[in-house]
Amino acid sequence: MNSPQAPVAESYHAQHSPFGAFASFTAGLVDAPGGFGQSLRRAANQNLYVGFRKSAGQDWQLLPFLTPPKSQETAFTGDDTIVQPPRGFQSLRPENYRRTLGWASDTWRADDTRFGFSLLSPFGPMADPAKLKKAAARFHLAPAITGWIEYDNRTGTTPVELIFGVGNGEDTLRPLGDAHPALAGFAGGGRFGYATKSARDVAVRQGFDVLNPRFRDYHGLHVIAGETGLVFTVPAGRKKRFPLVLGFYAAGPVTSGIDTTYAYTRWFDGLEDVLVHGLAGYRAYEKLAAQRDRELARSRLDADQQFLLAQATHSYLGSSQLLWHKNQPLWVVNEGEYRMINTFDLTVDHLFFELAWHPWAVRNTLDLFVRRYSYRDQHGLSFTHDMGVNDYFTPAGRSSYECDGLEGCFSHMTMEQLLNWVLCATTYAAHTGDRAWLRANQKTLLACATSLRNRDHPDPAQRDGLLKHDTARVGAGAEITTYDSLDVSLGQARNNLYLAVKTLGAWVLLERAFADLGLKKDAAAATATADLLARTLTTKFEADTGFFPAVFEKDNRSRILPAVEGFVYPLFLGYTDATDPAGRFAPLFGQLRQHIGQALRPGVCLDAASGGWKMSSTSTNTWFSKIAIAQHVVRQLFPEVMNAAARAGDRVHADWQRTPGCGLDAMCDQIRSDSGVACGSRYYPRGVTACLWLLE
């Protein structure tokens, strides 16, 4: 979208999303539409009219949220000679405005900051929805976001007009005021809509050309036309801010396989209820958003890091989906553009964010994995990669992703998901102190330990702690890891450095969990296995190169950053015995320090062209969510290896996300490290791993 020489202007979509509605109002990419999207894998395609004009005779100044809209008038009149796109506006260029993405807000300022427009997506600590009282449920689960538009006309001499509008292309919207006179706004059926409070200084507009409507019915609209808007008037000498609410509503059955409805339908009876609620609660939502913005702004994170966490959080909320099944909440995070349901690889990464804000979500997902998405193969218990796709829950014990007889992408991830259950479960229980849940899952934890050991070797005498035996489900194929689309350095599960260190983390956590449960023998056995594995790992270190190989097979010489990923769990839980460089794993730590220190060099795991962090020295496909974990672990455990080039990564990673290579699809995870262009995992929730940085 830009010539390689030109400096690339900031241009990115952000998802503005209620909690748990799997819905986004997406906006921000320059010269691109966006708007209301329900369960989509990318931005919607509505033109947004957001801007101001300083007097009736002048052009509108609009933020660049639209492509030149084509009037639908010709379809009615049969006359294509008189039709033209809306005129009378100038599309503001990035240099004409300033955009600020906060943790829970996205604000555009123009005209010397006199003009302002902001979209808020407030979030906060939230109790288990099964136990929420009505008022709290309505506050937290309202499928709406709020916003505002303002102009400071205190020094002006003529009234200034503001516009907020949506053009739904071929589809028409309906005026809300017909049935709800207190609402000024428009809705698409009962599915989405926007509103402000009816007032004398707010006019509604609907026409083929919303800026210059030629046809007006008895109430000034033309409801067969697709373009709509609210026009606000700010008198000379006044500063006015107008509240906006943008809502969604999806009634009735949502999913198949497991029958669910949206949780919010228990507390809201329709879109109008949501919009009225949003306007009534506007101040409280504004306050909550401001609180989050302040927290992030006052954190130790630099501007680039703050941007990355803010953008990641926006996309996480966009993939979140709180359902209701048989009188109980059912928590889902959809996997961005892939829309797989509760992909376990993502659950384990969302863990840190969810434990901070809605820890019941982790437990809810773990329970469903046990109840429906676990299975037993020749080695014992494990879990599926996901629970389905696109609102379709797959049959029990089966994922949507995993196919048979493969050695690469789409193969099974049996070992990976077994580790993910162990890590999520033990981290959840330790962090929340929910010992009752841990005890209820004692049998599962013990079965996981047995299964882990069997995947090392069925014969205890031959075990070294490394996972070496694939599930029978792969047939003639081989298990893979979550890093499915990278090269073999991270793709193969057997004898894999990343998985081995992750396994070490799992044993360290199991050791504590078993001890908490009073299972002394099992705790001791876990300790022994952890120590055995740590010793085995030290034997894999290449003294000549000072690196670990990525795979302990076939003379692999790839160098990977996720070598340290497994330490994020004991680090997060403050298990200092396991994370003390001089502690029980001191020899391994020394080697990992050397490995990472050497990896964080241009041409190894820093991209030679861009300077961005790379997961693997032998792949240009790098994943932001995993970079964020690696950065956190490295900065905490091996701060001395953070050289200037490595520290420069944040700027590079932020630039990737705020320019169209990624920004076209809001937060992206799989990125070409040389170009910064997304190559997968678009519109993606997983980047919230960056919340770990707040703990540094």
Nearer to its own copies, 77 or 576 (CB): 77
Tell which one of 253, 433, 546, 602 touches its own copies (CB under 8 A). 253
599 touches 617 (CB < 8 A): yes
Instruction: Give me the least distance between CB of 409 and its own copies, in Å please.
Output: 5
Instruction: Give me the least distance between CB of 224 and its own copies, in Å please.
Output: 5
Please choose, from the candidates 348, 343, 347, the residue with its C-alpha nearest in 3D space to the C-alpha of residue 389. 343
- Contact status: 13 vs its own copies (CB under 8 A): no
Show Cβ contacts of residue 202 under 8 Å, excluding neighbours closer than 6 positions. 184, 196, 230, 231, 232, 233, 242
Nearer to its own copies, 91 or 485 (CB): 485
Strand 174-175 versus strand 97-101 pairing type: unpaired
Show Cβ contacts of residue 416 under 8 Å, excluding neighbours closer than 6 positions. 344, 345, 385, 479, 480, 481, 482, 493, 499
Instruction: Give me the least distance between CB of 582 and its own copies, in Å please.
Output: 40
- Contact status: 7 vs its own copies (CB under 8 A): no
Instruction: Give me the least distance between CB of 6 and its own copies, in Å please.
Output: 24
Q: To 5 degrees, how large is the angle CA 153–CA 235–CA 105?
A: 55
Strand-pair partners of 47 = 167
d(CA 387, CA 137): 26
Tell which one of 402, 456, 479, 565 touches its own copies (CB under 8 A). 402
Amino acid identity of 168? N
Return the structure tokens found at 107.
Answer: 């604000």
d(CA 529, CA 520): 14
- Contact status: 210 vs its own copies (CB under 8 A): no
323 touches 261 (CB < 8 A): yes
Strand-pair partners of 205 = 229
- Mark residues 37-56: x for contact with its own copies by CB under 8 A, - for none: ----xx--------------
Nearer to its own copies, 193 or 229 (CB): 193
Amino acid identity of 53? R
88 touches 161 (CB < 8 A): no
Strand-pair partners of 119 = 106, 147
- Mark residues 647-676: x for contact with its own copies by CB under 8 A, - for none: -----------------------x------
- Contact status: 171 vs its own copies (CB under 8 A): yes
- Contact status: 222 vs its own copies (CB under 8 A): yes
- Contact status: 326 vs its own copies (CB under 8 A): no
Show Cβ contacts of residue 318 under 8 Å, excluding neighbours closer than 6 positions. 15, 17, 22, 23, 24, 26, 666, 683, 685
- Contact status: 113 vs its own copies (CB under 8 A): no
Question: By CB under 8 A, which span of 212-220, 419-427, 552-560, 652-660 interacts with its own copies?
Answer: 212-220
Return the structure tokens found at 40.
Answer: 């989509």
502 touches 423 (CB < 8 A): yes
Q: How many CB atoms lie within 10 A of CB 443?
A: 11
Nearer to its own copies, 102 or 175 (CB): 175
Instruction: Give me the least distance between CB of 125 and its own copies, in Å please.
Output: 33
- Contact status: 172 vs its own copies (CB under 8 A): yes
Nearer to its own copies, 49 or 401 (CB): 401
Tell which one of 98, 216, 287, 376 touches its own copies (CB under 8 A). 216
Tell which one of 395, 458, 583, 602 touches its own copies (CB under 8 A). 395
Residues near its own copies (CB under 8 A): 41-42, 74-80, 170-172, 174, 178-179, 187, 189-190, 215-218, 222-224, 251-253, 256-257, 270, 337-340, 388-392, 394-395, 398, 400-406, 408-410, 473, 484-485, 621, 670, 679-680, 682
